[in-house]
Amino acid sequence: MKKIIKKFINIILRIKYNINNNCYIEENVKLLHTKLQKNIILSKGCNVVCSDIGCYTYLGEETYLPYCKIGKFCSIAPNVRLAAGLHPMTFISTHPVFYNQYKKAGNIEKTHIEFETLKKLEDSDNLLCEIGNDVWIATNALLVCGKAPLHIGNGAIIAAGAVVTKNVPPYAIVMGVPAKIVGYRFQEDIIKKINASEWWEKDEEWLNKNCHTFNDVNEFLKLFEL
């Protein structure tokens, strides 16, 4: 019975959001101004606004990723969140009513004080975070966008509970608070070759034919003669 209900909810949500590319959407998902490629899973309670999500990527329950570009084949666990926006630490007050022309409350006169780091963020084409392809972000990770958009490289791994405040290089493994690089998935020359292969751009026919090599780096790279 539960499976039937979930299937019905998925159909209703697909109709609501005008999605017809084999995506699966669970209940209580908030989806606004977001482009979805095919075979995407949005789990219960996800909140995705003004984002672009690549094919075969899935988002775990209660994940919140606004203004993000997410690559293909990403594995994003439950409760992954993006924190964005800065407050001035050297002003008399950190409250935005004193510097933000878009203030939503209060009767204080419009201020002409400029907050440069906020301005940089607003001028970044509304992109807060760019996540590459084949990225694994574990449960409860927090992505913090500061003065500029945050970039997570292809193939990176972000450990559970990590607080990411800096850009993450391709195939790096980061963990901790704040997150630090503790290693890389492969040696540098191998990373360059895998990145150059751009396997995530291959069509399904190619992937079906060659996926048997994905557990053996050497066999995989032979496909590209790299």
Q: Do 42 and 141 fall within a single domain?
A: yes
Span 90-111, pLDDT tens digits? 888 888 777 766 656 566 766 6
The answer on 150 and 212 residing in a single domain is no
Domain that holds residue 200: 186-226
> Per DSSP, what are the bridge partners of residue 31?
48
Taking the C-alpha atoms of residue 171 and residue 195, their distance in angstroms, rounded to an integer, is 9
Do 141 and 174 lie in one domain? The reply is yes
Q: Are residues 157 and 66 in the same domain?
A: yes
Strands 41-42 and 58-59: parallel
Q: What is the pLDDT of residue 1?
A: 58
Which residues, 6+ apart, have CB-to-CB distance to 209 below 8 Å? none
Whole-number average pLDDT of the chain: 86
Are residues 128 and 211 part of one domain? no
Query: In this predicted model, which residue has the larger pLDDT, 105 or 28?
Result: 28
Are residues 22 and 55 both part of a single domain?
yes
Answer yes or no: are the C-beta atoms of 63 and 76 closer than 8 Å: yes
Catalytic residue chosen out of the listed positions 87, 95, 112, 151: 87
Percent of the chain with pLDDT over 70: 79
Q: How far apart are CA 1 and CA 21, in angstroms?
A: 25
Whether residues 221 and 174 share a domain: the answer is no
The predicted pLDDT at position 98 comes to 77
Q: Please state, in angstroms and rounded to a whole number, the distance separating the CA atoms of residues 133 and 170.
A: 9
Q: Tokens in use for 209?
A: 């034919």
- Residue written as token pair 């980061």: 174
Same domain (yes/no): 176, 195: no
CA proximity to 154, closest of 187, 205, 191, 183: 191
User: Model's pTM, two decimal places?
Assistant: 0.84
Are residues 70 and 165 both part of a single domain?
yes
Q: In sequence order, what are the beta bridge partners of 36? A: 53
Range 59-65, long-range pairs (CB < 8 A, 24+ positions):
60/139, 61/26, 65/129, 65/143
* 172 lies in the same domain as 193: no
**Could you tell me how many residues make up the chain?**
226
DSSP at 224: T
Neighbour count for residue 167 (Cβ, 10 Å): 14
Q: What integer is the mean pLDDT of 7-34?
A: 70
Distance CA 97, CA 41 (A): 39
Lowest mean pLDDT among 25-34, 50-59, 124-133, 212-221: 124-133
Going by the DSSP 8-state scheme, the letter that residue 200 receives in this structure is G
Give yes or no for residue 7 having a pLDDT over 80: no
CA–CA distance, 87 with 113 (Å, rounded to integer): 13
Indicate the DSSP class of residue 64: B
Count of domains forming the chain: 2
At 79, which CATH number? 2.160.10.10
Rounded to an integer, what distance in angstroms lies between the CA atom of residue 218 and that of residue 215?
Answer: 9
Q: Are 202 and 173 in the same domain?
A: no
Judge if 106 and 156 occupy the same domain.
Answer: yes
Asked about 112 being catalytic, the answer comes back as no
Lowest mean per-residue pLDDT among 86-90, 123-127, 138-142:
123-127
Q: Which two tokens stand for residue 204?
A: 């399904």
